Amino acid sequence: MAKKFDLNDDTVAVVIGSGAGGGTLSNELAQKGINVVCLEAGKRYTTDDFVNDEWAAFLQTAWLDKRTTSGSWRVATDFPGLPSWIVKSVGGSTLHWAGASLRFQEHEFKVKTEYGDIAGANLLDWPISLKEMEPYYDKAEDKIGVTRTHGIPGLPGNNNFKVLYDGAQKMGYKDCHTGRMGINSMPRDGRNACLQLGFCFQGCKSGAKWSAGYTEIPKAEKTGNFELRTQAHVIQITHNKSGKIDGVVYVDKDGNQQKQKARIVAVAGNSIETPRLLLMSNTSMYPDGLSNSAGQVGKNYMRHLTASVYALMDKPVNMHRGTTMAGIITDESRNDPSRGFVGGYEMETLSLGLPFMAAFLVPGTTGYGPKMGKFLDNYDHMAGMWIVGEDMPQESNRVTLNTSEKDQNGMPVPNVHFDDHENDLKMRKHAFGKGTDVYKAAGALDVFETPPYPSTHNLGTCRMSAKPRDGVCDKNGKSHDIANLFISDGSQFTTGAAENPTLTIVSLAIRQAEHIAKEMAKGTI
Amino acid sequence: MKNNVNISRRSFLQKAGKTSGFVVLAGGAVQLSSFNAWAAKKSAIDNHVAKTMLLVGKDMFPGKRFTDDLYMIAVDSLDGKALKDESVKSALVKGVAEFDKAAGGKYTEASIKKRMNVLKSMEGNNFFNTMRGEMVNVFFNNKRVWDVAGWEGAAYDKGGYYLRGFQDADWPQPSEEASPKGWWE
């Protein structure tokens, strides 16, 4: 069943990464009879390996390779070596995701047209429309088992949701419910129903949450067309004399370099590693890195607005019981420039356990004092929400190679530079205000406006564009420069929208697999 | 209590034992009984350093439900590191001296207002970061602290919360459309 391919087999599709993008693409290709070698930098963990312990799970699964930061964003001060909170494991960050599975809104695929020129923002319309995406959203929702789609009931709301819902009703919000979630409300697709464990971020031990590591990957393995290599960290994508991709070089679990030949290569290493790998693969033919003739690789890094509001309520809440992201208010996700900014944001319940709450409620050296002590002392009285909003793409927000720092393989580490755009700051201020109002309406005694965590939604560093000069890849994720090189993760996002990105990443991967299979059959790649 | 500061731990304990085990220092905040468990063990740091550390941790994250015994978790943890590493010990001693100096005497004897000013002025200082780090990473990662604050820790081994109060908060039950019944109902 578990297939082995030869390193010199140049007929295989090599997929780099096994998360929402790479895991899905691998399975979709394998289902179509295409031979796939998936190279995953992390280890393989099963649901039995996951631990209900915040720090232990973080050390087990987080991507902790050396990285640097710059820019005025607060993450660079509070977490200078940890710009993102993503996963190094089979399944990638679908191990960590909370499960929110929202389609983008129609206008969010054409923000340049809708929002107009925003100074300092590098806005661009997607080369795809919502209408073109709809059939793939539908397939992705079926694959993931998204609640409130395909006849799947919504999840029951927990304590944190009850508080949010009460505040939302009193605020007059119209659209507040337990969300569209990639978490089984009923047993489905061989996986359990949710037990309301509350450790969604640490790897779902019940398997109720969709995660590519135990859905897509085993399904791909069953086809006999697929090989997963774990602890296989790709450090270079190689090309032949004509400039076509011919393979990859990776460091295996023993620290030895291996070269795998390939017919095509699809990169899905999340939006920091993907541009880094393209930049690290520079040669005399491609001196600025692969697919970088327009100079766009690594630029327009987006991380969603993000912010949190944590409230101290007048009665016990026990928000930690049950799903981490238990419900949503979508009323503020519309584009309504009368609010003083373009784009919108979602409000989604979020809880952290006490260890992470102590680390993130007020991060950095100012994170102490009587108010913080009071909140943590009364952890059981806390309620919380996360704010996910559209941030503006800016050319200067970018992933570059920091050649003065080397990782464990001797490769230059990625530097992540980020400054908030004025629109981001205005939106965050608005969202803090509305989030506070929700909790005050529900009886809050006090609130904290919590700044962004290290980024979980890393987007846009190899964006798709209609014109080659505006981006890195086309509407199928195919490199504008190299016909057999594909971008297959959130790096493709032209803009970020207000919605959590996983559903769109999975939808794009399903769509891309169709495209690749078609082109392979035609012999064009 | 001022003259207790430089005496040996043994006599310190003896004196502490003569009280009701609950003594408020001039600074107003440290219970001597908290030292018993700590003082009975091999220690790298003296009473003054330990007491100051306890109070700094407490001033950083004051909570009505957190007793001094709990704050000693952070002191104990750093003391253990100091026992193994002389540089940790000297950094703690140096840090406490800096805090005392900033307090214009002894940190443990300064008013709460003064102490908060000292903390503010020390943000980013080595000892400040050490204490804050130990509180965040050790104190708040301790099950005894979780129990007091009301975080219940691991849930899978208890079958999750679907039958254990995940909807028991005293707020109105949302509409069934917004929050459908669970699969077990």
Residues A159 and A319 sit within 8 Å (Cβ to Cβ): yes
Q: Do B160 and A358 touch (CB under 8 A)?
A: no
- Distance, in angstroms, between B14 CA and closest chain A CA? 32
Q: What is the pLDDT of residue B24?
A: 35
User: Pairing relation of β-strands A485-487 and A264-267?
Assistant: parallel
Q: Half-sphere exposure (CA, 13 Å, Cβ side) for B122?
A: 27
User: Is the confidence at residue A252, as pLDDT, over 90?
Assistant: yes
**Is residue A340 classed exposed, middle or buried when 0-12, 13-18 and 19+ CB atoms within 10 A define those classes?**
exposed
- pLDDT at B7 > cutoff 80: no
Residue B134 lies in a domain: yes
Nearest to B169 among A187, A316, A377 (CB): A316
Query: Does the CB of A238 have a partner CB in chain B at under 8 Å?
Result: no
Residue of A nearest to B135 (CA): A358
Write the residue in B129, B157, B185 that is nearest to A365 by C-beta.
B129
Up-side HSE of residue B88: CA atoms within 13 Å toward CB?
Answer: 16
Question: pLDDT tens across A194-240, in order?
Answer: 999 999 999 999 999 999 999 999 999 999 999 999 999 999 999 99
Q: Is residue B9 part of a domain?
A: no
CA distances from A388 to A102, A123, A270, A297, A370 (A): 12, 19, 18, 25, 29
Contact A96, A204 (CB under 8 A): no
- Is B73 domain-assigned? yes
Reply yes or no on whether the pLDDT at A297 is more than 50: yes
| pLDDT(B20) > 60 | no
Domain membership flag for residue B114: yes
For A429-464, how does the pLDDT look when each residue is reduced to its tens digit (9 = 90+)?
999 999 999 999 999 999 999 999 999 999 999 999
Within-domain flag for B5: no
Question: Does some domain include residue B124?
Answer: yes
Of chain B residues 51-110, which have a CB less than 8 A from chain A? 60-66
Cα angle B123-B124-B130, degrees, rounded to a multiple of 5 = 100
Q: Which residue has the tokens 């109105």?
A: B172
The pair phi, psi for residue A396, each rounded to 5°, is -75, -15
Which domain range does residue B144 map to?
A: 16-24+34-168
DSSP code of residue A339? G
In a domain, B48, yes or no: yes
Checking if the pLDDT of B30 tops 80, the result is: no
Q: Give the residue-averaged pLDDT of A465-492.
A: 98
Strand order in the sheet with A68-70: A68-70, A412-417, A398-406
Instruction: Quick: pLDDT tens for B135-153.
Output: 999 999 999 999 999 999 9
| Cβ distance of B156 and A321 shorter than 8 Å | no
Q: State yes or no: pLDDT of B41 exceeds 80.
A: no
Interface test mutation site (partner B, options A49, A195, A361, max chain B beta carbons within 10 A): A195
Whole-structure pTM value = 0.94
A507, A332 contact by CB (below 8 A): no
Smallest Cα distance from A269 to chain B, Å? 30
Q: Would you tell me which residues 373-392 of chain A have a C-beta closer than 8 angstroms to some C-beta of chain B?
A: 373-374, 376-381
Query: Do the strands A233-239 and A245-251 form a parallel or antiparallel pair, or are they unpaired?
Result: antiparallel
Contact B166 A195 (CB under 8 A): no
Neighbouring C-beta atoms of residue A305, cutoff 10 Å: 29
Tokens of A308: 């949190």
ipTM, two decimals: 0.95
Residue that is written with structure tokens 């969300």 in the block: A179
For residue B180, tell me if it sits in a domain.
no
Rounded Cα distance, A275 and A290, in Å: 9
Of the pLDDT bands very low, low, confident and very high (cuts 50, 70, 90), residue B12 is: very low
For chain A, say whether B135 makes contact (Cβ under 8 Å).
Answer: yes
Q: Give the model's confidence band at B43: pLDDT under 50 very low, under 70 low, under 90 confident, else very high.
A: confident
Cβ pair A414, A283 in contact under 8 A: no
What's the structural domain count of chain B?
1
Structure tokens at A453: 């965590």
Which single residue is written with the structure tokens 């390193």? A7
Round to whole Å and give the CA distance between A302 and A460.
6
Closest-CA distance, B82 to chain A, in angstroms, reads 23
How high does pLDDT run on average in chain A? 98
pLDDT tens track for A349-361: 999 999 999 999 9
pLDDT of residue A68: 98
- pLDDT at residue B3, rounded to an integer: 34
Q: What is the pLDDT of residues B68-100, one digit of tens each?
A: 999 999 999 999 999 999 999 999 999 999 999
B173/A162 touch (CB, cutoff 8 Å), yes or no: yes
pLDDT at residue A327 greater than cutoff 90: yes
CA–CA separation, B8 and B35 (whole Å)? 13
Q: Under an 8 A CB cutoff, do A199 and B179 touch?
A: no
Q: Which is nearest to A458 in space by CA: A417, A499, A421, A501?
A: A501
What confidence score (pLDDT) does residue B31 get?
Answer: 57
